[in-house]
Structure 1
């Protein structure tokens, strides 16, 4: 009822403004979404999107690409604002609030973690994201409120077992491996187009023998120098140099070359010192050896365990949040006008 009264009051204010001001002087606020009975104004959306728009302007050249990126920022930011409006309405119904002391404590903790005073923290936020102190305070208040509502919703229902933690550890290692540089070597046996079945069978037999000898501990570099048909790397024992996984930041930014997907898939399954199966390609046969891989930052399971528990808790809360918000959306009138 209070929300409906707020909308009526907003309408009366606008009507009074229209009656008192010349038509050419009137600026009517555009509503970009209505959540329940609460409007989200275009000016609010622009203020919230401002830090992200600055990032777009810094990294994307002016033109159609920048316009598309800015449009996406507005859509993403509006989605976040709708979610937060739903959370605020749910908090009001549940009687959950955030006190000024809680906001101040949060800022003291953030500043201490960065070795700053709160005043320095506000100045840095202003310089980095163009956020005013009040905008920063509003954002932290929203985050605290969201945290309280999630804890209220899932309190007592989060159960993490040792198997869960181990599974998260293994998944994290697999994901990390896709970002770690590695150094492979190869032996390439060419198959001349039009070769007879007998000649192809001989090459395959040789490749199988070389794979077996390399796996038995014979010097891979010496085998590459003696048998490889790939002249660019034969003299260096098949060494391909340091490579980055396809899709990693190093590869995407052009800092490191990547292997072809078929070869990378084979290397990803290897530990340093191991040799792949024979890989057949259009023009020949390839055997790969992983010489080295950038060390993992996770030294042992026990050392990584606290981080894995935190990751699991965050994952559980994120899933609970999404489910909760989806339920709220089903029960709430939404009118998006962007």
Structure 2
């Protein structure tokens, strides 16, 4: 799970880039490649996103591969434009406050310099980014409201799923759910805690970790201290949550850290533990022993319910988007050009 938050942020940049400029009027020399209820989607929008993707390919694509990829990008933009128009009609467009909150969430995963580098790499200004965040939030609000009635999971559905997939809830070894606060004995180029707090030497690190331990013993919340002071860029903003580790995977951890986890009681904070990375305060959030998890276990029920909800949402979103597309007036001029260039009859 380390780096999952950053991966999600990187994925958000790609999504926002894909949405950039939907509904704009064509400038001189540009070409309309599609229309959705009379609103144009331009060739330049598709080309801009395609150029970001082509550099990731190991070898040059064929002419047909290029056209196929651009057609797929255009279809994504058509879909987003359809949903944007429906969100506007339903008065579900994002507010300024929602946009600013999402922007701060995106910023928090990067240093100021990295954030600007991301903007530059995507060829976007801050105002363009805000506009696309507004679009992203609006589409999510539309889908959330439209699908809410269908996103229910009954107790019987949970029971049926468990009966059919009991092997998924049989653990072969102990699982540890761990959180940490890390303080490093050197200046870090990327500090992403909320206080931007960074120990610059071993002495400063020792003083800082002891001060944090004192606050924990006085009753301060571990998660909030991690968010404010941990120097692990991958987990600080997630409250230090490292996720679950199987017993066998702990063999890769430094011996002192491994012992701290294995010997901890759930809810206990252990440390400081010294490793080559720095000083750690470790908290064991959960311990799952080997064996079969029964349906009566609340965590099993929650896991099943979340999986079923995710599957239902995926299905309903696909059906909703398909219906919305059928209801819209869509003209895909690029598809027409491709067919004509290959002499495919109407």
Q: TM-score scaled by structure 1?
A: 0.46
Larger Rg belongs to: 1
Q: TM-score scaled by structure 2?
A: 0.45
